[in-house]
Amino acid sequence: MRIFKTTFLTLALLAGSLTYAQEETTTEETTEESSFAISGSIDTYFRSSEYAPGTSFGNLPGFALGMANVVVSYEGEKSGFVADLVFGPRGNDAVFGSATFINEDGELVAKGSNSIINQLYAYYNVSDSFTLTLGNFNTFLGYEVISPVANFNYTTSYMFSYGPFSHTGIKADIAVSDNVSIMLGVLNSTDMTEFQPLGEDYMIGAQLGLYGQYINYLGGGTAGVSQIDFTGGFNLTEDFYFGINATSYSDDFDTEFSGIALYPQYTISDSFALGARFEAFSEEGLGAIGSISGEGDNTSFTLTGSYTSGNFIFKPEFRIDSASGEFYSNADGATDSLSTLIVAAIYSF
């Protein structure tokens, strides 16, 4: 917490000094409009059960902490940067593969979840429709994201939990028209966010956006990954939104997973909305999340209320998970189903 306070105060002082400098300093050579901003969020929650499914985030029992998120950004006319810092359990889970180093024998060694960098990238606008980005950025695959502010449901899906969370590399975003976009990227191996390990092959990322619907691809690397993902949604009425996410993954190590999730959301008033997530998911060859046998099917139903007052968001949530075998644990031992109630508080700034 002391590190967080020191970092935040330093960033605040830096923001103030930069703002003052921008107001006081003008030259004939500098006409570029620019802006410096600090934003972010905090989240905390209560979980009724000490047992949780094998999905990411929101898994701690009782009164628990999510994360503090501080995003420092600078946007100029042609270029800018984003430094996204995370502190706390959710932040540690989000950057689990980041803190690494090479020892005296040339071996890649994990130091643990000590990194606080969620994203760190710079970008350059080659034109109004063409942007190059270099650095570490959150994944383009999937419907859900790391920040709880941008997700309707507080807990996350199996598809999101299996990742990837972030990439490090270079990408080009091209706006072909108002309704068509293309992204192409060359990326480090999945979860290698600080550097590319020796001997690893690079990966290719691609995205095609059509009228708010996105087809995503991640492939290559030493593991021979091939993942195809669809993310989209439709406003069926002014108050009713229907989101969709589907993904399919395989690699050369006989690891496979696939799933589909539906996200109906209904706005009841200016301050309250109700949303659900229906997910069907299967895996083979992993055993890391959900299934302890390395092969199994999981389904989950999540019902979430979202009350908003200014920058404050209150989210009560009920979730039921079921599996094709006794892949979960509870007080009586192995079980094929879990249910829990979560109440979360989120504040964005």
Q: What is the pTM of this model?
A: 0.84
Specify the range with the lowest mean pLDDT, choosing from 248-257, 265-274, 278-287, 318-327: 278-287
Per CATH, the architecture of 34-348 is what?
Beta Barrel (2.40)
- pLDDT tens sequence across 104-140: 565 656 554 447 999 999 999 999 999 999 999 999 9
One-letter amino acid of 46: F
- pLDDT tens sequence across 249-268: 999 988 899 999 999 999 99
What confidence score (pLDDT) does residue 333 get?
A: 86
Neighbour count for residue 59 (Cβ, 10 Å) = 21
Specify the range with the lowest mean pLDDT, choosing from 114-123, 231-240, 325-334: 325-334
CA distance 295 to 256: 9
Rounded average pLDDT over 323-331: 84
Query: Domain residue spans in the chain?
Result: 34-348
State what percent of residues in the chain have pLDDT above 70: 82
- pLDDT tens sequence across 24-83: 444 444 445 679 999 999 999 999 998 998 899 999 999 999 999 999 999 998 999 999
233-237-238-243 Cα dihedral, nearest 10 degrees: -20
CA distance 47 to 342: 5
Q: Answer yes or no: are the C-beta atoms of 70 and 55 closer than 8 Å.
A: no
Question: Is residue 88 exposed (0-12), middle (13-18) or buried (19+ Cβ within 10 Å)?
Answer: buried
Q: Answer yes or no: are the C-beta atoms of 305 and 316 closer than 8 Å.
A: yes
What confidence score (pLDDT) does residue 334 get?
A: 86
Query: Can you give the C-alpha Rg of the chain in angstroms?
Result: 21
